[in-house]
Amino acid sequence: MFELLIQYIREGRIKLDKSKFDNVLATYHDPCNYARKAEKLFGHGYFDEPRWILDQCMENWVDLYPAKREQFCCGGGGGTMTTGYNAERILYGKKKMDQIKAAGAKMLVVPCHSCHGQINNIKKEYEMEDLEVKYLWELVADCLKV
Amino acid sequence: MEEIQQTIEMDRLNHGRFESWPFSQDFCVTCGLCSSSCPASGIDGFDPRKLVRMVSLGLEDEVIEARWPWICTMCAKCEHVCPMEINIPGMVRSIRGLREREKVPGILHKGLDAALKTGNNLSLPKEDFIFILEDVGEEIADEPGFEGFKVPIDKEGANILTTIHNKLVNTHTDDLKHWWKIFYAAKEDWTVPSDNWEGTNWGLFTGDDAAMKTMTGRIVDNMEKLKIRNLLWPE
Ligand code: SF4
Ligand code: SF4
């Protein structure tokens, strides 16, 4: 997925408008499965690839703290969106939301369906309704010059 | 988890009970680093160190009945900091796998069961699936810059086969559009299978290896049937 997007951009098959989100401070969340767990399982964690893609889509974005290997889980992984243990899941997400608040971000970019669903689902619990949650490929699609 | 405060009969303990598990749970030095790193520590009294100890002591019924393994997200932060490299997420998944399938919480097993029977978690019939894809495809074709866009279904010999997350043909159909627009712009030769398109694989969450294998095998079958070499499986 990351490789494919990078290939399209590198080969010039898609052109991106970097100014589209000039006024929105974005940040990036590393999903456990693409990052920490991929590194452990397959010997390669996707830390730098998504960040490179973000650099192609916007001039300005900030990393969360901590990030990459030390990233906090969103709380929506492992099927927890579907177990029905919702109070626990929302509480779990507090660390994540505090981290996003601390970064001052107005947009969170994620390349994972579970993270996307979780953050969108819990933002109202933490008075962060204005936070825009975007798939990484959605960001790329939004920036397409067609 | 009141039971851990109760007296445990010594004959219930069995250090050998899970010795075949490859997660190194017996190497735990009870340092507590996992618990400090875990975002779920404290929720419902959960603490990964305690769970590791319970497995090590062979408290089978207690770990199977506990809610803890289902509150853990298998995020692997604990494993990342563990000095003994204990695979806590793997252990959690195996504990989940020991539950009676009917007692798996929420819709996890029901969704998986539906997927095994019908090819997708929603039991969505093929005609409805195709209708949704084509409908969304027409919406894209109406946007400036995407004239003539069409969703290639079951296209033999395409360069890329993509799976679909069931929520994108349920409540989030607009989110189908992002990848499709990128494909259009990149002039990609891609396709979606009309059967067994489900991208999620909930056996990963329920600890059901056989189900995972079936779901994955179906994707491979689709690739072979349509003679496609590349897979985009972003779920
Ligand atoms: S970090 Fe590892 S060794 Fe330390 S308590 Fe947790 S499981 Fe045991
Ligand atoms: S994998 Fe589970 S136990 Fe380990 S840090 Fe994540 S939530 Fe906690």
Pocket of ligand 2 contains residue B38 by CB under 6 Å: yes
Measure the CA–CA gap between A54 and A49, rounded to whole angstroms.
Answer: 9
Preferred mutation among B41, B47, B67, B75 to probe A, highest tally of A CBs within 10 A: B75
The predicted structure's pLDDT at residue B7: 72
The predicted structure's pLDDT at residue A83: 87
Structure confidence at residue B8 as a pLDDT band (50, 70, 90): confident
pLDDT at B5 over 90: no
Whether the Cβ atoms of residue B154 and residue B166 lie closer than 8 Å to each other: no
Structure confidence at residue B13 as a pLDDT band (50, 70, 90): confident
User: What burial class does residue B18 get, using C-beta atoms within 10 Å of its C-beta: 0-12 exposed, 13-18 middle, 19+ buried?
Assistant: buried
pLDDT at B3 over 70: no
- Helix and strand numbers (H, E) in chain A are 7, 4
DSSP-based three-state secondary structure for A111: coil
Pocket of ligand 2 contains residue B33 by CB under 6 Å: no
The predicted structure's pLDDT at residue B131: 95
What stretches of chain A show up as alpha helix (H) in DSSP?
2-10, 36-42, 48-57, 86-92, 94-103, 113-122, 136-143
pLDDT at A28 over 90: yes
CATH topology for B2-99 is Fumarate Reductase Iron-sulfur Protein; Chain B, domain 2 (1.10.1060)
A2-142 under CATH 3.40.630, yes or no: no
The predicted structure's pLDDT at residue B16: 86
| Ligand in closest contact with the CA of B78 | 2
Contact A144 B181 (CB under 8 A): yes
**Two tokens at B41?**
């520590």
> In chain B, where are the structural domains located?
2-99, 123-232
Measure the CA–CA gap between B189 and A97, rounded to whole angstroms.
Answer: 39
Summarize the confidence of residues B162-184 as an average pLDDT: 93
Which atom belonging to ligand 2 lies closest to the Cα atom of B51? 3
Give backbone dihedrals phi and psi of B191, rounded to 5 degrees, phi first: -155, 165
pLDDT at A24 over 70: yes
Half-sphere exposure of A121 (CA within 13 A, CB side): 19
Contact B75 A36 (CB under 8 A): yes
Contact A138 B39 (CB under 8 A): no
Q: What pLDDT digit, counting tens, does each position of A63-85 carry?
A: 999 999 999 999 998 988 888 88
Smallest Cβ–Cβ distance between A88 and the set B43, B76, B181 belongs to: B43
Pocket of ligand 2 contains residue B89 by CB under 6 Å: yes
Structure confidence at residue B10 as a pLDDT band (50, 70, 90): confident
Whether the Cβ atoms of residue A46 and residue A67 lie closer than 8 Å to each other: no
Q: Which residue has the tokens 């504990």?
A: B95
CB contacts under 8 A, A 59-118 vs B, are 69-70, 72-73, 75-80, 82-85, 88-89, 91-92, 95-96, 111, 113, 117
The predicted structure's pLDDT at residue B6: 67
A6 CB neighbour count, 10 Å cutoff: 15
DSSP-based three-state secondary structure for A41: helix
ipTM here: 0.94
The predicted structure's pLDDT at residue B2: 52
Measure the CA–CA gap between B205 and B214, rounded to whole angstroms.
Answer: 15
Summarize the confidence of residues B44-51 as an average pLDDT: 94
Structure confidence at residue A31 as a pLDDT band (50, 70, 90): very high
Whether the Cβ atoms of residue A102 and residue A113 lie closer than 8 Å to each other: no
Structure confidence at residue B42 as a pLDDT band (50, 70, 90): very high
Structure confidence at residue B159 as a pLDDT band (50, 70, 90): very high
pLDDT at B105 over 60: yes
Q: Which of B74, A67, A109 is nearest to A120 (CA)?
A: A109
| Positive or negative torsion for Cα A29, A34, A37, A38 | negative
Cα B1 to averaged position of ligand 2 atoms, centre (Å): 17
Contact B92 A78 (CB under 8 A): yes
Strand partners, A133: A108
Structure confidence at residue A135 as a pLDDT band (50, 70, 90): very high
Summarize the confidence of residues A93-107 as an average pLDDT: 95
Whether the Cβ atoms of residue A8 and residue A53 lie closer than 8 Å to each other: no
Q: How far is B162 from chain A (nearest CA, A)?
A: 11
Half-sphere exposure of A143 (CA within 13 A, CB side): 25
Measure the CA–CA gap between A137 and B234, rounded to whole angstroms.
Answer: 10
Measure the CA–CA gap between A113 and A131, rounded to whole angstroms.
Answer: 17
Contact B182 A140 (CB under 8 A): yes
pTM score, whole prediction: 0.91
Half-sphere exposure of B21 (CA within 13 A, CB side): 26
Whether the Cβ atoms of residue A123 and residue A113 lie closer than 8 Å to each other: no
